[in-house]
Amino acid sequence: MINPFRYGGVVGKDAFCNRKRELADLIRAMQNGERLFLYSERRMGKTSLVRLALTKLPKKRFLGAYVDLWATDGEASFATSTAKAISEGLGTTADKMLRAARQFFHSLAPTVSIDASGNPQLSFTAARSISSGPGLREVLEAPAKIAARRSRRVAVVFDEFQRILEYGSDLTERTLRSVIQNQRDVSYIFLGSRKHLVQRMFLDKSRPLYRAGAHYPLGPIDSKDWLPFIQGRFRKSNKQIDAELISEICNMTGGHPFYTQHFCHAVWEICESGKRATSSTLESALNLLLERESYAYTALWESFTMNQRRFLTGLASSPERPEVYGGDFVSRHNLRSHSAVQRVVNTLLERDVIDHDNSSLLISDRFFKIWIRQAGTGTP
């Protein structure tokens, strides 16, 4: 049988555990032409959720454009990626895509080619005017023009939106703020997986996008919602798992969708058909996961300085979210000073090893946290 627990990559509706309220909120924001900053830890399911929301919009009244900014490195690639996503939303055939691209993005010199599978591939040549502003403005003004000419509302999603902070200037932010504030029939959903950067973009008064939209943090899923989801999938596979074991899984993963599904994937894999998962099954599944990640975790651990190792050991071993700048935490883990902790935190945040968790911090990879606790690192 196919393992019913999915993790990694974009997943469809059937793979979701709950998220009904969040999905409804996203659909409503798109329908109402809102601007929404949706942010969370990595692998929390933002992309899958927002792409599902786009499919729920009535096609006769809405146009959806999903723009992945991960591979962009400046205003030019931002503009061409956005133009490509919008054009592909306007047509499925090569002729329709090219016609739409030429109508709304004529300065980007659009062309269409056919890939090895016979599918049309739209590409653009970035004009010099993008770096100076006019070309970028043309791209960002297109959704409102499309809404007016085709009598359809437009929903634009920018994924990995914090990427624009690395462009070297704030031209994209400034142009976005200038253009979108007057677009009534266009919604913008900005997704970010580096919370501290996304929060800085819309909470820092010095940033162009300060308070440009509502913020929507996406958190983990409660264990009460995981219970029927996990038990139901085991049951359909002629396997059983008790509520106590599911609670134990959720305690280890914090209800994070990726790590919970990953853990359950391993438990399901080990549990035999017609059998009930036990504590021994969970232990074997955890050992299997840690064994598979051991090489990567060891290499990552060896890349840290001694102070970084001490800090992570303290964070991993604390039963509650600790006050990492407090004197007790600093002295107990031989971290020397508050300023030394601050330097460690800044570096680990930049490397996505840790993330903010309300007033404290957490280790982003739940299995890495367990590995640190169990590996006997012997950090002095």
Q: What is the pLDDT of residues 74-112, one digit of tens each?
A: 999 999 999 999 998 887 788 888 888 999 998 888 888
Which amino acid would we find at residue 185?
A: D
Instruction: Look at residue 132 in the predicted model and tell me its pLDDT.
Output: 59
Instruction: Look at residue 380 in the predicted model and tell me its pLDDT.
Output: 40
Task: Find the domain containing 196 and state its range.
Answer: 19-217
Instruction: Look at residue 246 in the predicted model and tell me its pLDDT.
Output: 98
Q: 217, 243, 267: which is the final residue of a domain?
A: 217
Instruction: Look at residue 9 in the predicted model and tell me its pLDDT.
Output: 83
Same domain, 142 and 263: no
How many domains does the chain contain in total? 3
Mean pLDDT of 285-308: 96
Instruction: Look at residue 47 in the predicted model and tell me its pLDDT.
Output: 95
Domain membership flag for residue 11: no
In CATH, what number is assigned to the domain containing residue 126? 3.40.50.300
Q: 197, 217, 237: which is the final residue of a domain?
A: 217
Domain membership flag for residue 149: yes
Domain membership flag for residue 2: no
Pair type for strands 111-114 and 120-123:
antiparallel
List helix spans (H) across the chain. 20-31, 46-55, 75-90, 94-104, 129-132, 134-150, 171-180, 195-203, 223-236, 243-253, 257-270, 279-302, 306-317, 327-332, 338-350, 366-374
Q: 187, 217, 247: which is the final residue of a domain?
A: 217
pLDDT of residue 143 exceeding 50, the answer is yes
pLDDT of residue 136 exceeding 70, the answer is yes
Q: Is the pTM value of this prediction over 0.85?
A: yes
- Output the CA torsion sign for 333, 337, 339, 340: negative
Instruction: Look at residue 317 in the predicted model and tell me its pLDDT.
Output: 92
pLDDT of residue 128 exceeding 80, the answer is no
pLDDT bucket at 378, cuts 50 / 70 / 90: very low
Same domain, 211 and 243: no
Mean pLDDT of 316-345: 91
Same domain, 267 and 337: no
Same domain, 185 and 278: no
Same domain, 167 and 136: yes
Instruction: Look at residue 8 in the predicted model and tell me its pLDDT.
Output: 87
Same domain, 203 and 236: no
Range of weakest confidence among 6-15, 131-140, 247-256: 131-140
Q: What is the pLDDT of residues 200-244, one digit of tens each?
A: 888 889 999 999 999 899 999 999 999 999 999 999 999 999 999
Averaged confidence pLDDT in the chain: 91
Same domain, 311 and 295: no
Q: What is the pLDDT of residues 2-59, one digit of tens each?
A: 999 999 888 888 889 999 999 999 999 999 999 999 999 999 999 999 999 999 999 9
Q: Is 44 exposed, middle or buried (0-12, 13-18, 19+ CB in 10 A)?
A: buried
- By percentage, how much of the chain surpasses pLDDT 70? 97
